[in-house]
Structure 1
Amino acid sequence: MKLTVYFDGTFWCGLVEAQDQKESLVYKHTFGPEPKDQDIMIFIHQQLPKILASSQTVKAENNGIVERKINPKRRQRMINRAKRQPVVSTKSQLALQEVHQLNKKAKQKRQKQDKADVAEAKFQQKQLKKQQKKKGH
């Protein structure tokens, strides 16, 4: 069983993923404001067992993966690595992220062009001043 707590842009949510040999369960719980450790523990010990008992499960596909005991240090490294990974988001969030990236690229391009224009204008101003000095004005 795995519980992932993440911020979805508006609220803090918890994603519970439980899987055994034959069945799989995924449940999303919205905490609201940022939950404290105590709130998460209350959810795990009081609400989660009720949810697991009353929710429907989906048949799991066994892709030949066999669960075996994992060394505690390795498990801790895997947990830390998983914490650093971004949480899987919905299609709309991915679309918004893509639009944001496109806007960011456009802004960078525009700023680079503006900087080049300013540098060109400065260069032309220096050239004009240089020519006027040469003429004796």
Structure 2
Amino acid sequence: MSLTIYHDGQFWVGIIEVVEDGKLRAFRYVFGAEPKDSEILDFIYYKLLNIINQSIHSGLDVKGKSNKKINPKRLQRQVAKEINKLGISTKAQEAMKQEYEEKKKSKKKRAKQYREQLKQQKYLMKKQKAKAKHKGK
């Protein structure tokens, strides 16, 4: 799991990337103003797990990494490269976009069900009114 915090021009944003069972899931959290260290720690301790657990998408497939021992100097270079890297990975962007699309589809589906339910209620009310008129009430 990795947490990347960057400034997107307007707000400070945190991107959480989680790899589980060969699937990458990414989440976006907007901090707003520049977060202090204490705010980041509060986020990690109290909000991070809730954000990860409320996810509805399965994630994107990621190539598995081998468990080969890495040369310490190479590892040091990789860490320095990650620290200097700005922004988020394209895989994370793709995962966030996929989650957004799935949320959008589910929201659309609920809205359609709600409209159908309202339509059915109006129809039943119309029928009751017609029966009442027919009975002379």
Superposed counterparts of 1:1-137, under 5 Å: 1-67=1-67, 75=75, 77-88=77-88
Cα RMSD, aligned residues only: 2.8
Where does structure 2 lack aligned partners over 5 or more consecutive residues?
91-137
Identity of aligned residues (%): 37
CA–CA distance in 2 between the matches of 1:31 and 1:52?
A: 16
The alpha-carbon deviation at position 59 of structure 1 amounts to 4.1
Q: Which has the higher relative contact order, 1 or 2, with Cα contacts under 8 A spaced 6 or more apart? A: 2
Shift in CA distance, 74/57, structure 1 to aligned 2, threshold 3 Å:
farther
CA–CA distance in 2 between the matches of 1:27 and 1:67?
A: 26
CA–CA distance in 1 between the matches of 2:40 and 2:46?
A: 10
The alpha-carbon deviation at position 87 of structure 1 amounts to 1.3
Where does structure 1 lack aligned partners over 5 or more consecutive residues?
91-137
The alpha-carbon deviation at position 8 of structure 1 amounts to 0.0
TM-score normalised by structure 2 residue count: 0.53
Aligned pairs, number = 90
Shift in CA distance, 70/54, structure 1 to aligned 2, threshold 3 Å:
farther
Shift in CA distance, 59/5, structure 1 to aligned 2, threshold 3 Å:
closer
CA–CA distance in 2 between the matches of 1:68 and 1:38?
A: 36
